[in-house]
Structure 1
């Protein structure tokens, strides 16, 4: 198994958090879910792994918090505040294992969206060399495909005055 991250774009926080318990990849009108423009990944968390891609794209130094994620779901204001409250949570509580939704900053979106097409292969190669990918080989061009997909998603979000969001689930 693993942790799945789905990056998508939405008009605003309300649209981004519709049906938070459901994958963004599987739109279903009967559940009231809109069809999202989504890129599905595994292990590509927003702060560390995607954050490094954003840093490379923007040609800035990487730092934790570069993408400035804001947790939208489960609502942080309702999160347990003590060990006793955490222990009292039901096993299926989203505070325990998700799903979760985060909003990424406009700066992160714009750094990704601003990458020239000619730079995509070098960007994918640079990203593939990070420590988090050291166990993997990229024989099939997956990193270039994923980099191209994420940059394309960021461009469409920017062009439609939308932000990027991340839905994640264990």
Structure 2
């Protein structure tokens, strides 16, 4: 089993990390749990896949640092600092198995939000050629991420990535 990634929008970091053990993509939220506007992407990680997409959108060379994220959960200030501290963690520690939550930069949100309908097919084709997959699926994911980014920008929110696995 691999790592699963979900992109969502939130008003701030505090809201983004509420109930971190729970998926952000939920059809019917349970009482007492936050309801997020989210996109399930399964394999689409920020440092590699999203960086490739941002490179295509911006028409710049690919680099893994095009999407510098800020780790929010598990809290980086409590992260183990030595191999001994890491080895002493319980096997179900979020520092070992997740989940993780990262904040994406504003310029990434805005690059996604600025994608036009006319660009969707071409981006899907170019991205599929790089990743090896179905261009229609890639175009559909770009459209979902674009729409999420637009809603986030319209509400003055940021994008976040929740991962587990």
**Same fold (TM > 0.5):** yes
Please give the alpha-carbon distance, in whole angstroms, between the structure 2 residues aligned to 1:33 and 1:129: 39
Q: CA deviation at 1:41?
A: 1.1
After the TM superposition, list the runs of 4 or more consecutive aligned residues in structure 1 that deviate by more than 3 angstroms: none
CA contact (8 A) 1:58 1:112 kept: no
Q: Report the 3-state secondary structure (helix = DSSP H, G, I; strand = E; otherwise coil) of the residue aligned with 2:141.
A: helix
Count of paired positions: 164
Per-residue deviation, residues 86-114 of structure 1 (Å, max 9, x unmatched): 00000100000100000000000111111
Q: Report the 3-state secondary structure (helix = DSSP H, G, I; strand = E; otherwise coil) of the residue aligned with 1:65.
A: helix
Please give the alpha-carbon distance, in whole angstroms, between the structure 2 residues aligned to 1:143 and 1:60: 19
Gaps of 5+ in 2: none
2:162 is the alignment partner of 1:161:
no
TM-score for the superposition, normalised by structure 1:
0.91
RMSD between superposed Cα atoms in Å: 1.3
TM-score for the superposition, normalised by structure 2:
0.94
Please give the alpha-carbon distance, in whole angstroms, between the structure 2 residues aligned to 1:126 and 1:163: 26
Gaps of 5+ in 1: none
- Residue in 2 that maps onto 1:146: 141
Pairing of 1:101-140 with structure 2 (within 5 A): 101-130=101-130, 133-134=131-132, 137-138=133-134
2:52 is the alignment partner of 1:52:
yes
